[in-house]
């Protein structure tokens, strides 16, 4: 196209065309036009994070009661009577009885229904589990987990399906004796630890499980717990003047200072007291600590940090929402290897995430947004070790049907869930914690 010649032969359009060209040049050279605020970042995070693709409702709890536990529930089991029963009465929206092969929704007062539990054999636990994991609500299953086959991992498929939705199963075991046989009442709490106000956290807080030495518990999950050591969130370098808010498994940092005059001068290119260059930048972000044992049955031994430019993706998402359209979700963000780096010694020694600018190979091409830059820092698990010895003792119990044998069905269900390839792939590809940064243009 002979655009250059056309501009010089059409004198009357010269000024207009120059304006168009200048505008186009500015748009091209200044980068992506980005949103003024970060109000939609929580929705953006949920839409682009695998663990949020199947949300559950926290406004109702479904309680499934295996009636083979009737004898145990009528005995004086302290944790059930003092803690769990009052929670069930106050939080249960729907009550389901498992009477042998029959699963029925019951009407009436939950406390009275629980007091009326009688003994039925051969519970249909598999169908109850299928109903739970196919629902979009928090649920709790009370059961002794006792089927005729003591080695069948009958819970495995339900556990895997629930975890692949990004949720958790909080398991509590309360020991009791049925005659000479030592058994457990299990409380399987199907919830989601990423969501504030979930029923598992409520049980932990109200139940004060540590006050009951005979009670054992752990979280079957793909969500690790990251502790924020300053107000529940990270501690950014003071020169970026960040306002930080945390929401579940991510936080937003809004930096309010310029790049050349503050961030790069006093953080990236920090000097010693004599004015000499230092080999590293100042610490950019500190104060996040990983609980390596927060995923039940595993010990997290390695993490990987990735940094993404989300200027375009977040802008497109906001534009679609503001225009009343359904955003097209692109999860393949542009990754930048030489902008921010992680101090692996700090992680190895005390499980802390300590971040620096990559002073030696600093690449600021990630900062292509105007008037703001949006980027994301995410942490992924890249190495785990199986740690099942601590949980085996309370998941295995004596088999009532075969004297001298152990019932390993719950333990094998958990073990095979943790070893499942799809679960491990999901774990590797879903961030355990993310930091979104909104910064000024450069």
Give the DSSP H or E segment for 202. helix 199-207
Mean pLDDT of the 370-380 span: 97
Q: Which residue has the higher pLDDT, 169 or 5?
A: 169
Note whether 311 and 189 are same-domain residues: no
Note whether 213 and 231 are same-domain residues: no
Q: Which residue has the higher pLDDT, 122 or 411?
A: 411
Residue whose C-alpha is closest to residue 134's, from 107, 152, 161: 161
Rounded percentage of the chain residues whose pLDDT exceeds 90: 67
Q: Report yes or no on 25 lying in a domain.
A: no
Note whether 200 and 323 are same-domain residues: no
Q: Report yes or no on 269 lying in a domain.
A: yes
Note whether 196 and 248 are same-domain residues: no
Q: What is the pLDDT of residue 8?
A: 30
Note whether 135 and 196 are same-domain residues: yes
Q: What is the pLDDT of residue 24?
A: 40
91-141 pLDDT, tens per residue? 999 999 999 999 999 999 999 999 888 888 889 999 999 999 999 999 999
Burial 37-60, CB ≥16 within 10 A → b, else e: ebebbeebbbbbbebbeeebebee
Q: What is the pLDDT of residue 73?
A: 64
Flag whether pLDDT at 9 surpasses 90.
Answer: no
Note whether 255 and 377 are same-domain residues: yes
d(CA 344, CA 163): 29
Q: Report yes or no on 267 lying in a domain.
A: yes
Q: Report yes or no on 7 lying in a domain.
A: no
The model's pTM is: 0.86
Q: Report yes or no on 80 lying in a domain.
A: yes
CB within 8 Å of 436: residues ≥ 6 apart: 38, 41, 45, 250, 251, 252, 253, 310, 374, 375, 376, 377
Q: Report yes or no on 263 lying in a domain.
A: yes
For the chain, the domain total comes to 2
d(CA 133, CA 165): 9
Flag whether pLDDT at 27 surpasses 60.
Answer: no
Q: What is the pLDDT of residue 70?
A: 66
Residue whose C-alpha is closest to residue 178's, from 74, 101, 268, 30: 74
Q: Report yes or no on 391 lying in a domain.
A: yes
Flag whether pLDDT at 56 surpasses 50.
Answer: yes
Flag whether pLDDT at 213 surpasses 90.
Answer: no
235-239, 251-255, 370-374, 397-401: least confident range = 397-401
Q: Report yes or no on 332 lying in a domain.
A: yes
Note whether 82 and 149 are same-domain residues: yes
Note whether 80 and 184 are same-domain residues: yes
Note whether 208 and 305 are same-domain residues: no
Note whether 119 and 193 are same-domain residues: yes
Note whether 84 and 201 are same-domain residues: yes
In which domain, by residue range, is 42 found? 32-53+226-384+429-440
d(CA 61, CA 64): 10
331-342 pLDDT, tens per residue? 789 899 999 999
138-183 pLDDT, tens per residue? 999 999 998 878 889 999 999 999 999 999 999 999 888 877 888 8
Note whether 257 and 333 are same-domain residues: yes
């Amino acid at each position: 196209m002979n655009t250059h010649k056309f501009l010089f032969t059409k004198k009357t359009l010269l000024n207009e065309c120059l304006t168009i060209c200048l505008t186009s040049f500015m748009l091209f050279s200044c980068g992506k036009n980005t949103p003024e605020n970060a109000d939609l970042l929580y929705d953006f995070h949920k839409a682009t994070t695998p663990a949020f693709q199947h949300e559950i409702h926290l406004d109702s709890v479904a309680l499934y009661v295996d009636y083979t536990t009737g004898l145990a529930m009528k005995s004086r089991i302290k944790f059930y009577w003092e803690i769990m029963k009052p929670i069930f009465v106050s939080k249960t929206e729907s009550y389901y009885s498992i009477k042998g092969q029959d699963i029925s929704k019951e009407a009436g007062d939950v406390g009275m229904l629980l007091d009326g539990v009688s003994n039925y054999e051969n519970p249909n636990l598999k169908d109850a589990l299928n109903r739970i994991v196919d629902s979009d609500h928090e649920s709790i299953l009370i059961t002794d987990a006792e089927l005729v086959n003591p080695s069948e991992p009958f819970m495995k498929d339900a556990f895997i399906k629930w975890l692949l939705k990004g949720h958790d199963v909080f398991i509590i075991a309360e020991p009791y004796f049925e005659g000479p046989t030592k058994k457990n009442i299990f409380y399987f709490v199907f919830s989601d630890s990423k969501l504030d106000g979930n029923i598992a956290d409520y049980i932990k807080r109200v139940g004060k499980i540590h006050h009951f030495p005979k009670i054992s518990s752990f979280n079957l999950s793909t969500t690790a717990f990251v502790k924020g050591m300053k107000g529940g969130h990270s501690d950014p370098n003071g020169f970026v003047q960040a306002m930080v808010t945390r929401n579940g498994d991510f936080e937003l940092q809004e930096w309010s200072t310029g790049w050349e005059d503050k961030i790069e001068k006093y953080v990236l290119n920090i000097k010693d007291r004599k004015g000499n260059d230092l080999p590293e930048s100042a610490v950019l972000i500190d104060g996040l600590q990983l609980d390596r044992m927060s995923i039940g049955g595993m010990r997290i031994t390695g993490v990987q940090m990735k940094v993404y430019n989300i200027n375009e993706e977040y802008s497109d998402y906001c534009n679609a929402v503001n225009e009343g359209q359904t955003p097209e979700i692109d999860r393949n963000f542009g990754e930048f290897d030489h902008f921010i780096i992680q101090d692996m010694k700090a992680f190895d020694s005390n499980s802390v995430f300590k971040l620096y600018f990559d002073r030696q190979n600093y690449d600021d091409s990630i900062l292509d947004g105007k008037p703001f830059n949006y980027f994301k820092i995410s942490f992924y698990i890249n190495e785990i070790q199986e740690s099942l010895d601590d949980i085996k003792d309370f998941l295995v119990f004596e088999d009532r049907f075969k004297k001298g044998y152990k019932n390993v069905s719950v333990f094998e269900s958990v073990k095979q869930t943790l070893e499942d390839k799809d679960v491990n792939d999901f774990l590797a590809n879903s961030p355990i914690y993310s930091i979104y940064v909104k910064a000024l243009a450069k």
